[in-house]
Amino acid sequence: MEKFLIAALGNIGAAYHGTRHNAGFDVADVFAAKHGVAFQSGRLADIAEIRYRGKLLIVIKPTTYMNLSGRAVKYWMDKERIDADHILVIMDDIAIPLAKLRLRASGSDGGHNGLKSIQESIGTTTYPRLRFGIGGEYPKGQQVEFVLGKWADSELPIVRRKVQASAEVIESFVVRGLPMAMNEANKLDFGPDMI
């Protein structure tokens, strides 16, 4: 059975729940719930196994905190013998508007500590990633507070729709392949007029 590793990034603990930096965890939670599967505590991550259209998806939420996400990704890649092109990393991105998602085959870490850790751990920048735009509307010098802050009430309708759409992007990626999934995901617009 073809296997995929879906690595959703975030920070563990109640203090981080509902924050922009935990967008990846939110997507993983909705995806697992959609498929009727609960996360279990595993090595370096909470883990859910989902069978979908003849594929096995190992969904992880690293328990290492964001800056050490690569340790969990590398462990589960090795344990499950999954190649880099069968990984999908899901994370927040301040360089992308709130109304958008960006699915990419590779790229730099863009200053994202989770991606930086993954790159260092697996030794490549060539792995698919779904960037969940959180926008960059914060006062100068307030980036950390913004990223670790909770979603504003006005943002939540867009965020909820994007989380649901991200779950569908995962399905498209594993069944239809990266190029087709990119073509679909990168066209999506969740602007206020689309609600």
Identify the bridge partners of residue 61 per DSSP, sorted by sequence position: 46
Other C-beta atoms lying within 10 Å of the C-beta of residue 50: 20
Quote the DSSP letter at residue 154. Answer: T
Q: What gap in Å lies between CA 136 and CA 93, rounded to an integer?
A: 9
Q: What gap in Å lies between CA 173 and CA 179, rounded to an integer?
A: 8
Active site residue 17: no
Other C-beta atoms lying within 10 Å of the C-beta of residue 110: 14
Q: Between the CA of residue 156 and those of 94, 98, 132, 183, what are the distances in Å?
A: 16, 10, 14, 25
Q: Are the C-beta atoms of residues 10 and 23 closer than 8 Å to each other?
A: yes
Tokens of 21: 């930096």
Among the listed residues 17, 21, 86, 112, the single catalytic one is: 21
Catalytic residues: 21
